[in-house]
């Protein structure tokens, strides 16, 4: 080779090292959520992670998870989650995670949006699950994608009835939830023959592939932001759909994924709150004050992006520390997220919350 000739092999290696050029079509799918979270964490000035407390928390979390026999089976054990191992459960989970966002309320526990189902009052995330189960009991096909785009049958009045509240407060962001249903129904009809199982099959048992499919084809799942002039991905609801499938089907059938370890925690309200309570995550005084005053933080604000990115990376560090303590522990980011969420709700119920969760109105979480 002369000095004037281009070394194409060297050029390709350089492009790959810089992350530019065409993607290798044979490479396994990557969501880049964890990579983006690390970037956010490394460049955050208002949110910081504390490794000393992370190591302490890892000891505590591992001990509690072992004591409780905590596993993915916890998902199926809840009274409201579907129990069947078939397409009806797939459709239920897709509908549930399509609408799984923004349940917090500024009203009191007695006045906030609530749903009574099977003689029990449900609030927060569980109010959505209860409303879906109630609708199915009333023969409303609320988990059928073809129903969402039939505006003669699936009218706004019908949807208001499906998501009716026991109180005067209606379901938060009701209009946005209707828009998500309509949009997802259209995408499923046009690209997947109105079949959620066809969508799952196209991912070929790849958790990352399914997350990317949702983000690429469904704008309402495209949970991204800008931070320090860089696009970062969180993909909370896309990832939790995969995680819920994995848990509901116990890693089999529609929940069988060969790369489930690529799913991160689901950056929302409660896990950051719990990470802060455990001392794993700290806020700058201005951000801390904003959260404690219950002041709104706009979607996409640097503070919100830092909270979400550092939460993902914080749970990843917890996972690594737990595996250092017990290399045989059957734990991943999904189970740590589930556990921390449950712990946060337990503390809320007992009045032990150390700090409120941050307030952001968003369809992303």
Active site residue 295: no
- Whether the CB-CB separation of 15 and 21 falls below 8 Å is answered with yes
How far apart CA 294 and CA 113 sit, in angstroms, is 18
pTM score, two decimals? 0.91
pLDDT for residue 23 is more than 70: no
Q: Mean of the pLDDT values across residues 32-54?
A: 98
Could you read off the pLDDT of 210-234 as tens digits, one per residue? 999 999 999 999 999 999 999 999 9
Q: What is the pLDDT of residue 54?
A: 98
Question: Locate tokens 């806020």: which residue?
Answer: 283
Provide the percentage of residues in the chain whose pLDDT is more than 70: 93
Predicted confidence band of residue 19 (pLDDT cuts 50, 70, 90): low
150, 159 in Cβ contact below 8 A? no
pLDDT at 232: 98
Tokens of 120: 């029990």
What is the pLDDT at residue 303? Answer: 98
3-state helix, strand, coil in the chain (%, to 5): 55, 5, 40
Phi then psi dihedrals of residue 269, to 5 deg = -95, -50
The phi and psi torsions of 241 (rounded to 5 degrees) equal: -60, -45
What is the arithmetic mean of pLDDT over 195-200?
A: 98
Q: Is the pLDDT of residue 267 over 80?
A: yes
Q: What is the mean pLDDT of residues 139-160?
A: 98
Q: Please give the torsion angle defined by the CA atoms of residues 233, 235, 236 and 242, in that order, rounded to the nearest 10 degrees.
A: -140
- Across 135-254, where does the E strand assignment appear? 224-227, 230-233
Residue 27's pLDDT is what? 87
How confident is the model over 307-332, as pLDDT tens digits? 999 999 999 999 999 999 999 999 99
Catalytically annotated residue among 223, 268, 295, 337: 268
Give 64's pLDDT tier (boundaries 50, 70, 90): very high
130: pLDDT strictly greater than 60: yes
- Using only the alpha carbons of the chain, give its radius of gyration: 21
d(CA 288, CA 286): 6
> Is residue 350's pLDDT more than 90?
no
> Does the pLDDT at position 294 exceed 80?
yes
Q: What percent of the chain has pLDDT over 90?
A: 89
- The rounded distance, in Å, linking the Cα atoms of 193 and 136 is 22
In angstroms, how far is CA 312 from the centroid of its own chain? 11
pLDDT for 24 equals 65
């Amino acid at each position: 080779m002369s000095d004037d000739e281009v070394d194409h092999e060297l050029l390709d290696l350089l492009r790959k090292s810089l992350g530019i050029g065409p993607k290798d079509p044979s490479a396994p799918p990557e969501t880049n959520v964890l990579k983006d979270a690390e970037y956010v964490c490394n460049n955050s000035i208002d949110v910081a992670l504390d490794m000393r407390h992370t190591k302490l928390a890892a000891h505590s979390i591992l001990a509690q998870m072992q004591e409780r026999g905590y596993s993915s089976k916890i998902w199926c054990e809840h009274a409201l989650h579907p129990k069947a191992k078939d397409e009806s459960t797939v459709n239920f989970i897709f509908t549930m995670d399509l609408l799984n966002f923004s349940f917090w309320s500024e009203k009191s526990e007695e006045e906030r949006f609530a749903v009574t189902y099977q003689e029990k009052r449900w609030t927060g995330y569980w109010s959505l699950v209860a409303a879906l189960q109630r609708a199915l009991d009333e023969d409303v096909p609320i988990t059928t994608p073809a129903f969402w785009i039939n505006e003669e049958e699936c009218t706004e009045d019908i949807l208001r009835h499906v998501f009716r509240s026991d109180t005067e407060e209606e379901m938060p962001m009701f209009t946005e939830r209707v828009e998500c249903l309509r949009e997802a129904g259209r995408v499923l009809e046009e690209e997947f023959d109105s079949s959620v199982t066809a969508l799952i099959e196209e991912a070929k048992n790849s958790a990352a592939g399914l997350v990317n499919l949702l983000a690429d084809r469904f704008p309402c799942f495209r949970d991204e932001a800008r931070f320090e002039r860089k696009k970062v991905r969180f993909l909370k609801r896309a990832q939790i759909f995969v995680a819920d499938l994995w848990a509901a089907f116990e890693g089999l059938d529609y929940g069988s994924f060969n790369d489930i370890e690529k799913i991160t925690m689901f950056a929302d309200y409660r896990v950051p709150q719990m990470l802060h309570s455990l001392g794993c995550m700290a806020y700058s005084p201005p951000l801390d004050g904003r959260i404690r005053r219950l002041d709104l933080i706009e979607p996409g604000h640097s503070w919100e992006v830092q909270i979400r990115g550092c939460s993902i990376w914080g749970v990843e560090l917890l996972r690594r520390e737990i595996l250092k303590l017990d290399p045989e522990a059957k734990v991943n980011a999904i189970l740590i997220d589930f556990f921390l969420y449950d712990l946060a709700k337990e503390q809320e119920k007992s009045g032990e919350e150390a700090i409120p969760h941050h307030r952001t109105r968003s369809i992303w979480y």
